[in-house]
Chains A and B, each alone.
Chain A
Amino acid sequence: MRKASPTAIVLPLLNDEDVVRLRKAVREELLSLGFGLVDQTKMITAASELARNTLKYGKGGEGHIQKIQESSKLGIELLFTDDGPGIEDVELALTDGYTSGGGLGLGLSGAKKLSDDFELDTQPGIGTTVIIRKWKFP
């Protein structure tokens, strides 16, 4: 699992209720950063998808929520990390509709579409970390 930055909010993702709690926490951060409604909806939805993946495929892990800044741009960074089985074929996993778990296969690719930045770091047998960011344009 990726270690959290000292200023991040760290939430466990070990059960269904944790996913709901993370959604609420993400919403609060987005609100405090002044993101508009559509951006909020997209990011919380993306967070929900990734949190569920961490729980379901990663066998449980953590979510890190962090305010970020690049020159005068403010943003939010969400990180999802686990010590699960990792993803064997990343390209396949990112394909719309591909699922290894009976889902819709839209979670990973969806989260990528709904956010501004997307990073995936995975090693089969070791774990997975997914990072998404959204920037607020003044």
Chain B
Amino acid sequence: MERIPILRMGKLLLVTIQVDMHDRLAMTLQDDLTERIVKEKASGVLIDISALDIVDSFIGRMISNTAAMAKILDAKTVVVGMQPAVAITLVELGLALEGVITALNVERGIALLEQNS
């Protein structure tokens, strides 16, 4: 089964989404991330969406849910690399991405996560 790889860097988990995900793949990622947070006792999750041209409400919800589950498991979530057109569309869509911190790029995202752990 296709899966999006999750990398571990110390206490952080890094995910780079590089494919146009179908809904099932997004759900698998959400489950995999939650499992890995528990397994690795991760303190932070970094989701790199710089390759995503489109973030619709399903993906947005996947990201928010992941952040909410991470929070329950005492981990923070940072989303990095949101494309400007995506940001504009999310605002118009009214999608809040609750509980999600955003950063411009991976370096700043990691710095943010390490700051608080």
A45/B89 in contact, CB under 8 A: yes
Task: From A16, A17, A20, A45, name the one whose CB has the most chain B CB atoms within 10 angstroms.
Answer: A45
Q: How many residues of B contact A (CB 8 A)?
A: 23
Assess A104 versus B61: contact at CB under 8 Å? Given A24-B20, A44-B54.
yes
Assess A104 versus B60: contact at CB under 8 Å? Given A23-B20, A40-B85.
yes
Q: Is B111's CB within 8 Å of the partner chain A?
A: no
A45/B55 in contact, CB under 8 A: yes
Q: Is B18's CB within 8 Å of the partner chain A?
A: no
A103/B58 in contact, CB under 8 A: yes
Min C-beta distance of A11 to chain B, whole Å:
14
B58/A52 in contact, CB under 8 A: yes
Contacts of B20 in A (CB 8 A): 20, 23-24
- Mask, A3-45, CB within 8 Å of B = 1, is 0000000000000110110011001000000000110111011
How far is it, in angstroms, between the C-alpha of A27 and the C-alpha of B24 when the chains are bound?
A: 21
Contacts of B57 in A (CB 8 A): 49, 103-104, 106-107, 110
Indicate the size class of the contact surface on chain A: 20 to 34
Interface of A is mostly: helix
Q: Which residue of B lies closest to A42 (CB)?
A: B89
Assess A113 versus B58: contact at CB under 8 Å? Given A23-B20, A41-B86.
no
Q: Is B10's CB within 8 Å of the partner chain A?
A: no
Interface of B is mostly: helix
How far is it, in angstroms, between the C-alpha of A45 and the C-alpha of B92 when the chains are bound?
A: 11
Q: Is B23's CB within 8 Å of the partner chain A?
A: yes
Contacts of A24 in B (CB 8 A): 20
- List 11 additional A-B contacts (Cβ < 8 Å) besides A40-B53, A49-B56: A19-B22, A23-B20, A38-B89, A41-B83, A44-B54, A45-B89, A52-B58, A96-B94, A104-B61, A104-B95, A114-B89
Enumerate 21 A-B pairs (CB-CB under 8 Å) in ascending A order: A19-B22, A20-B20, A23-B20, A40-B85, A41-B53, A41-B85, A41-B89, A42-B88, A48-B56, A48-B58, A49-B57, A52-B23, A96-B94, A103-B58, A103-B61, A104-B61, A104-B95, A110-B57, A110-B92, A110-B94, A113-B94
